[in-house]
Amino acid sequence: MTATTPPPMPEGLVAVVKKDCPTCVLVAPVLTDLADRAGLTVITQDDPAFPAVADWVVHDHDLALSWHHDIETVPTLLNVKGDDTSSRLEGWSRDQWEAFTGTDALGVDLPDWRPGCGSLSVDPTRTDELAVRFSGSTLTSRRVEIAALEDDWEAMWDRGWSDGLPVVPPTEARVLRMLEGTSRAPDEIVAVVPPDLVECTVEKVAVNAVMAGCKPEYLPVVLTAVEAACTDEFNMHGLLATTMPVGPVLIVNGPIVDEIGMNSGLNLLGQGNRANSTIGRALQLVIRNVGGGKPGGVDRATQGSPAKIGLCFAEDEAGSAWDSFAESRGFDRGASTVTLFPGEGPRLLFDQKSRSAESLTKHFAEMLRTYASPRMVMQFETVVVMSPEHMNRYRDAGWDRARFLDELNAHLMIDGAEIIAGAGGIEEGMPEFVKDMRLPKYPPGGIHVVHGGSHAGLFSAAIGGWVTGEIGSVTVTREIER
């Protein structure tokens, strides 16, 4: 679609009005008076018979004149000279109108001043449609026509665009509005998306963000998540192909959390918050619809988990006794970041009785030892989502993040004899050569701690990871680009 040629405004004095505006109705006699005495032309937005049926009244039936000439308020009075429409007044002021038109005794029975109303061309219910019609779309995505009798949701499902839940139709107007959430160009390549290794533009990400239900202000987070997911370190292809029930888990830090209204408190890992629910889903739809990563294809999860639909949450930095999760990964506190962790669904860490940091840490270690299998060590990482009430134990004890992790890892050292294959009559386990070793459950740096949740409830959560290192995925944190 190309931009339409701006229609010219009539030369001389021009007033833009609409009948659905009390001030425009108020000054209707003034408009007639100016048409007689000063040669005024009236552009009417809604009613072609307002303020009169006359040759000096022009109906802006498609709002092209108003949109192209940036009419934001009615009435607007202009003095048009060629292509120059910059000389203008908004609203009604007798003194200003008389000076502007060089005509005296205007509306002597009217109030001296009244504000105007919003132009139809800036009505929020019309702006997207008008932008598509007049601005000339820069979108390059293929257009798919939906037949009049087709249901939009069913049509998109039949074409394989959905994760199983209804998706929002990505109309041109919605995609253009989504793109307003970033300063990046629509044709900029964001990443090469696995498994099909397809180049993905900002526009393509915006299309899937619309489908996921995102708001435009979420788009920078989604774009950064797509970049992070498509790095060699994160290994999205491997994460899809594994039979384990894992997918990208998004953890957001920094000022953007409050700016877009993310949930870091009550039910932060659950439903109910639009940003939390849709950002992770948008990433998964990009992987599906652009990269071709669909269940039954490259996605080979034996059972999968709800986390594969999209799991995204924010850290409660303000309520934490420690540095933020992003700071622990080398970023400034003022930076907005998104971290991608290759994880499964959250599991409960239950402790309502520990009143000391030492007791709670030992209990955390017992629970974390069982991830995947109590007999598997140094292969996986984990994210601990520590609740405020549990965090208070460490606040009271004066422990920082480093002290907690040192103590926790010390309690997660395991005797090899307990976990070798065949020990205790269980065939699963580590090879015989580790029998006399003491082994850590998690690799160095393999336990990540994020603070969040309700202030009521002595529960925390753990999100187990996929295989780490060169044969698996490495947790990736990126600063969010607006």
Query: Both tokens of residue 127?
Result: 């702006």
The average pLDDT across 17-29 equals: 98
Are the C-beta atoms of residues 130 and 63 closer than 8 Å to each other? yes
Quick: pLDDT tens for 319-355: 999 999 999 999 999 999 999 999 999 999 999 999 9
User: Can you list the domains of the chain with their CATH numbers?
Assistant: 12-134 (3.40.30), 153-479 (no CATH)
Question: Does residue 237 register a pLDDT over 90?
Answer: yes
134-137: long-range pairs with CB below 8 Å, 24+:
134/3, 134/4, 134/64, 134/67, 134/68, 135/3, 136/1, 136/2, 136/3, 136/4, 137/1, 137/172, 137/176
* pLDDT at 1 > cutoff 60: no
Q: Identify the helix (H) or strand (E) that includes residue 174.
A: helix 172-179
pTM over 0.75? The answer is: yes
DSSP H or E stretch at residue 289: helix 274-289
DSSP code string of 429-463: SB-GGGTT-EEESS-TT-EEEEE-S-SS-SEEEEE
**pLDDT tens digits, one per residue of 193-207:** 999 999 999 999 999
Q: What is the mean pLDDT of the chain?
A: 96
pLDDT of residue 482: 86
d(C-alpha 362, C-alpha 263), whole Å: 29
**Each residue of 368-404: pLDDT tens digit?**
999 999 999 999 999 999 999 999 999 999 999 999 9
Residue 46: pLDDT above 90? yes
Pairing of strands 73-74, 117-118: antiparallel
What phi-psi label fits residue 457: left (phi over 0), alpha (psi between -120 and 50 degrees) or beta?
A: left
